[in-house]
Amino acid sequence: MKIVDIKTILTCPGQNYLFIKVITDDPDIYGIGDASLNGREKAVSDLTDEYLKPMLIGMDPDNIEEIWQLIYRGTYWRGGNIIMGALCGIDMALWDIKGKRAGLPLYSLLGGRVRNKVLCYSHVLGETNQDKVEQAAEFVKKRGLRVIRLRAGLSAANGTLNSTEAQNAPKIEKWDPEFYADEMIEYFANIRKVVGPKVGIIFDLHERFSPERAIYIMRKLEKYNPFFIEDPIAPDCTESLKSVRSHTNVPIAFGELYKSRWECLPGITNRWLDFIRCDLIRIGGITEARKIGAIAETYDVKTAWHGPNDVSPVTHAVNWHLNVSAYNFGIQEDGTVDDKINKVIKGGPVYRDGYLTMEDTPGIGCDIDEEAAKMYPYRRAYIPVCRRPEDGSLCDW
C-alpha cells in the first residue's frame, strides 16, 4: 500500500478546525486526523501542503514510526507547535489506516482494553461566579458528573468561537493575577459547599499566576480537597514547577503546552506533577502520546489528556482509545462540542452518567463529510490575550 495524496480540510463550523486526510492506493482505505492549532490553523495547513505532502506521497502508510521520525527530525528545526500540529494530523490518519486495514479499533492496536468506559469531567462555565455555582449544582444533580472543572478567569477560548468575520487582532481580556487570587479561593469554596464532599473539583489556574501566588492559592485550597490543580504556573521555567510542588501536597496536573516527551521528563521523573496533561495535537499525535504515557506509568503519574471544547471529535476519539488501553489512565477532559462540528465529523465518544463510551469501529471511529466542511469557510481568528487593567501590560492568558 502507498500514500497517493494528502488533503488538508480547513473548516469553520463555529470555530476553525484543520483536518488531514491521507489517501492510499486502495480506494476503500483512507485515514482522518486532526491538526487544528487554535489561532494558527492556516500555518499548519500551508506546511502540510507545501512541504510534507510532496515528501510523503509514495511512502508506505504502515511505517508510522519511520514517517513520524522523518517529519520530526527531517526538518532539522524540530519541535514547534506548527510542525507538531501537522505531524499529529498525519500520525492520527496513519493509525486510522492501520486500524482499517486490520479491521480493528485503534485501542486493539494499542494492546486492547483495560477498562470499558472512561471517567470524564466537564467545564463549569458562566458569565459570573454565581452563574457557575448554579451550573455546578446542575451538572452534579442532573448530568451525574462525578468530577467538574473550574477555571480562573473567563470561559476558555472566549472570543475565538462563533465569530462572524475574520479577526485582524486578538481580543483582549482584563486580568490582574494579584487581585483575583482571593476571589478564586472564595469561588472554589462556594462550589465545594454546593456539590458536597464527594464530587471531584478540578481548578484550572491556566498558567495565569506567578509561583508565589499559585502557592498561596493552592495552600488555601488544601482543606477543600481539589481533585487536582491544573497548570498553576506557566511551563517556561522548570524550577518554578519544582518550587510549587515543594510547598503544597495538592495534586498537580501539568503539560498542556508541552510539545514533546523531553519537555515532560523533569516533571514526571521528579514527581513534580501527578497527572500529565498534554494535548495530542501539540505533541505529534498517538505515536508520541504512547511514549509519554509509558514514561509516566513508570513514575506512577496518571494521564489526563487535554480535551476542551475547542478539540474536535476526532481527537476526543483518539483520547478515548488511549484511555481505555492505558493502565495509568487518570481522567479525561470532556469539552462540549458545538453541534455544527457534528455535521462535518461523524463519530466520537458519547457521554453517559459521568463516563465516555464508544462503539467498536475499525480505526479511530470517525469520518469527515467534505461537502459539509465546505459549507463553513475558514475565518482567521486569534486566541485572546490578557492585559492588566491598570497599566495595559501583557500577562499570560
Looking at 105, 126, 147, the residue that finishes a domain is 105
Pairing between strand 345-347 and 332-333? Answer: unpaired
Pairing between strand 17-24 and 30-34? Answer: antiparallel
Q: Taking the complete model, does pTM exceed 0.85, yes or no?
A: yes
Reply yes or no on whether the pLDDT at 1 is more than 80: yes
CATH of the domain at 20: 3.30.390.10
CA–CA gap between residue 362 and residue 99 (Å, rounded) = 5
Number of independent structural domains in the chain: 2
SS3 content of the chain, % helix, strand, coil (to 5): 40, 20, 40
Asked whether residue 285 falls in the same domain as residue 346, the answer is: yes
CA–CA gap between residue 271 and residue 301 (Å, rounded) = 8
Asked whether residue 86 falls in the same domain as residue 128, the answer is: no
* pLDDT tens, position by position, 97-128: 999 999 999 999 999 999 999 999 999 988 88
* pLDDT tens, position by position, 46-65: 999 999 999 999 999 999 99
CB atoms within 10 A of CB 65: 10
- The parent domain of residue 256 ranges over 109-364
CA–CA gap between residue 376 and residue 96 (Å, rounded) = 25
CATH of the domain at 161: 3.20.20.120
Asked whether residue 270 falls in the same domain as residue 302, the answer is: yes
Name residue 216's amino acid: Y
For the ranges 82-86, 88-92, 338-342, 376-380, the lowest mean pLDDT is seen at 338-342
For residue 16, list its beta bridge partners: none
Reply yes or no on whether the pLDDT at 203 is more than 60: yes
Asked whether residue 274 falls in the same domain as residue 171, the answer is: yes
Asked whether residue 115 falls in the same domain as residue 68, the answer is: no
Name residue 203's amino acid: F
Looking at 105, 127, 162, the residue that finishes a domain is 105
Pairing between strand 200-204 and 394-395? Answer: unpaired
